Chains A and B, each alone.
Chain A
Amino acid sequence: MLQVQTNITSVIIAVILMVVILAVFVLVLILYFNNKRLASIREKELLIKEYNQALLSAQLEVQEQTMKQISQEIHDNVGQILSLVNLNLKTLTPGDSEKIETTTKLVNKAITDLRALSKSLNPDAILKIGLMQLIKNDLEQLQKTGQFTTSLEIEEEPEIPTGKLVILYRMIQEVLNNIIKHSEATAVKVKIDSDIISLADNGKGFNLSDTSNGLGLMNLQQRAKLINAEVKLSSDIGKGTSVIFSLNKI
């Protein structure tokens, strides 16, 4: 009888313990998954913050770049034209219709150039002008320096969300700046397809394993990650460099 009672007692204790342990287990499980969910929310918030910071920084850099371009444009182009107009006006004699016509043309050119500058001052210029036109403008600028021959092939225009456009354009600008500063190249080729943008030069190239180049590449890759793009860089000493942006995940 006592043995039976002991057995029943044990069963009751075991059942109660099992139920209590089950309740504790469920609560711990909920706690664990809630913590994981919170961590993922925080990670997402951090990514959004990083993305916004990078976007802001890219916008600032583009703005800075644009300002430099404007300053150069005023100094080298409009400034020169107006100096020439000033010289023409000083040396103008009555009845010199040819000089008047030339001066009028020069003034018109100055007005056109100033209008173009005014457009580029608009902060939404990148969105309004469009990526293809911006790349075209940049290549024309390079061509104007007389140090580079440039070519642009557009097979199909990629569709890029407006929020990611600024970052992508900034990355392309960075590659072009690196070509100007470090490549010692004479030719720059840009190819654009629906999901790829590639930039290649015929410069001196560099060793990819050289750590001194790592920072710039890392910077490019970080920005690419923000917009879900991929960057592939290939270079050989003496054989130029090419950078390929894969845009199929954007």
Chain B
Amino acid sequence: MVVNYHLNMNIAYYQYLQYLCLLAALFCYKDLKQRSLHLLLPLMVVVCIVETLAHYYLQLGFSNNYGIYNCWVIASVVIYYFIFDKLLCFKGWKRRLYLVSAGVTILFMLLEFFVISWGKYLIHTVIITSIQYMLICCLLVAQLVMDDVQPVRLSSHPYFWFAAGLLIFSAGYAILIGLHPYIRDNNLLLFGKRLYFIIGPMLNVILYSCFIIAIVLCSRYKQISPASS
């Protein structure tokens, strides 16, 4: 039997932003590296691959796209922890605490992936990591604000936009994913679409727009710094 799949080439609007963000990260990789944000590139590569595969999961022969999104969750959690480790520059007991909490979360995630929710979406991991991201983003912004040695204008600092995007995304996403089983089981719809498919893309737009701004600011910082020094 020959199955002739008709590939639907229409991609979601937020995916354009993800590709744009990937391109920006690719072109500004050197600048990102200078600002310790170079891990945004592998993150965006994972995001773009996962979103594209998840979009065509039926054509690829999967019954659902949870497995694909779970791969994204695992990869993104690890990459985000590395990014935050670079940005926060914790030392001593703070760093040890950070590494322990990251390690515990990763262990929990693997446990959920292999044991608790095999074949299901990693809802608990996503909720826990979203709350962690919110806390860490607040910490990052607080660090920027309280820097008395070199006071910075937050609106022109890439870390602020990175943290702001992730904070807003995580705040919305934690609730949305927390209610995911409920929304799915009760088939809650808005404009004929599942709630998840309406709010999720909006949060994605906010997140990747902020990332693009952060990447652009990284390259601008490089242009400004030699003249100002």
Task: State the A residues within 8 Å of B (CB).
Answer: 5, 8-9, 12-13, 15-16, 19-20, 22-24, 27, 30-31, 33-35, 37-38, 41
Contact = CB atoms under 8 A, between A and B. Distances in A.
A13 B195 contact: yes
A12 B141 CA distance: 28
B218 interface: no
Contacts of B151: 37-38, 41
B161 to A, nearest CB: 10
A13 B199 CA distance: 8
B153 A35 contact: yes
B172 A12 contact: no
B225 interface: no
B137 to A, nearest CB: 9
Contacts of A37: 145, 151
Interface string B95-137: 0000000000000000000000000000000000000001000
**Dominant SS at the A interface?**
helix
B195 A34 contact: no
Interface string B188-229: 111000010001000100100000000000000000000000
Interface of B: 134, 141, 144-145, 151, 153-155, 160, 164, 167-168, 171-172, 175-176, 179, 183, 186-190, 195, 199, 203, 206
Given A23-B168, A27-B141, A27-B167, A38 B186 contact: no
A12 B189 contact: no
B153 A34 contact: yes
B168 A9 contact: no
Contact of A34 (B154, B168, B179): B154
B205 to A, nearest CB: 12
A5 B188 CA distance: 6
Contacts of A8: 186, 188
Contacts of A38: 151, 153
7 contacts: A13-B190, A13-B199, A19-B171, A20-B172, A27-B164, A31-B155, A38-B151
A23 B176 contact: no
A132 B221 CA distance: 54
B183 A12 contact: yes
A19 B154 contact: no
A5 B194 CA distance: 12
Contacts of B203: 20
Nearest to B145: A34
Given A9-B189, A15-B175, A24-B168, 17 more contacts: A5-B188, A12-B175, A12-B179, A12-B183, A12-B195, A13-B195, A19-B172, A23-B168, A30-B141, A33-B145, A34-B153, A34-B154, A35-B155, A37-B145, A37-B151, A38-B153, A41-B151
